[in-house]
Structure 1
Amino acid sequence: MAKSLLIISRQAPWSGPSAREALDIALAGGAFDLPLGMLFLDDGVFQLTPGQQPDAVQQKNLAANLQALPMFGVEELFACGHSLARRGLDNDALSLPVEVLDNAALTALIARFDQVVTL
């Protein structure tokens, strides 16, 4: 059986290539039916906000990639509740349905996966 993979995305969509790379790994893994989940942590939660204008900072829009995650079998999507709160984000207004986790649940989530990649 394939090992499970958790991808932790910690970067804002406009801060460089890390957010896009995390999404690319998730989409590729999903295409090969790899059991995986994706956790948005720290500034990575900004990827989940609707109405972004990436052209203003000469970045590509990640919205289509994010919306494609469930179509590629990446349905375990998580966000850190503390990260959302510190950035003034309401989980009801996010562009994707994610399971919001507290710190104890984050620890349990990370322990549940065989491999963890942080970008």
Structure 2
Amino acid sequence: MPRSLLIISRQSPWSGPSAREALDVVLAGGAFDLPVGLLFLDDGVFQLAAKQDARALQQKDLSANLQALPMFGVDDLFVCGGSAAERGLDPKVLSLEAAQVLSAGEITALIDRYDQVITL
């Protein structure tokens, strides 16, 4: 049985390459039928903010990659509710409607569920 992988994305989409790299790892895992999940934590929740203009920052837009996750079999998407609230984001209006909002306790249990965890 394939080992499961959880990617924790903690960086905002404009702070460097980490957000894109996290998505690339998740998409690659999904393409190879690896059981993979993606958790947006800390500033990573900013990746899900609606109506971002990546061109203004001379960055590539990540929204197409985010929307492609289900097509690659990545359905285990999670958002830290506390991180979203601390940053003034309403989890109900984030760009990934399928993402499950979790509390700190639920995140601990989530991490324990996966064989491998990578934080980017």
Normalising by structure 1, what TM-score?
A: 0.99
How far apart, CA to CA, are the structure 1 residues paired with 2:49 and 2:73? 21
Partner of 1:72: 72
Partner of 1:46, secondary structure, is helix
User: What 5-or-longer segments of structure 2 have no aligned partner?
Assistant: none
Question: Which amino acid is the alignment partner of residue 87 of structure 2?
Answer: R
Give how far 1:4 is off: 0.1
State the alpha-carbon separation in 2 of the partners of residues 95 and 103 from structure 1.
21
Percent identity of equivalent pairs: 70
Residue in structure 2 matched with residue 5 of structure 1 by the alignment: 5
Deviation at 1:103, TM superposition (A): 0.7
Range 3-12 or range 91-100, more displaced: 91-100
- The TM-score normalised by the length of structure 2 is 0.98
Deviation at 1:110, TM superposition (A): 0.2
Structure 1 gap ranges (5+): none
| Matching residue's letter, 1:108 | A
Number of equivalenced pairs: 119
Q: Could you tell me how far apart the structure 2 residues matched to 1:70 and 1:117 are?
A: 20
Give the Cα–Cα distance (whole angstroms) in 1 for the partners of residues 85 and 79 of structure 2.
11
Give the equivalent residue in structure 1 for 2:104.
Answer: 103
Letter of the structure 2 residue corresponding to residue 76 of structure 1? D
In structure 1, the partner of 2:33 is 33
SS at match of 1:78: strand
Cα displacement (A) at 1:50: 1.3
Provide runs of 4+ in structure 1 moved above 4 Å. Answer: none
- 1:114 and 2:110 aligned: no
- 1:44 aligned residue: 44
Instruction: Kindly provide the CA deviation profile for residues 52-94 of structure 1, in whole angstroms up to 9, marking residues without a partner as x.
Output: 0111111100000000001000000000011000001001111
Q: CA deviation at 1:47?
A: 0.4
Q: CA deviation at 1:30?
A: 0.2
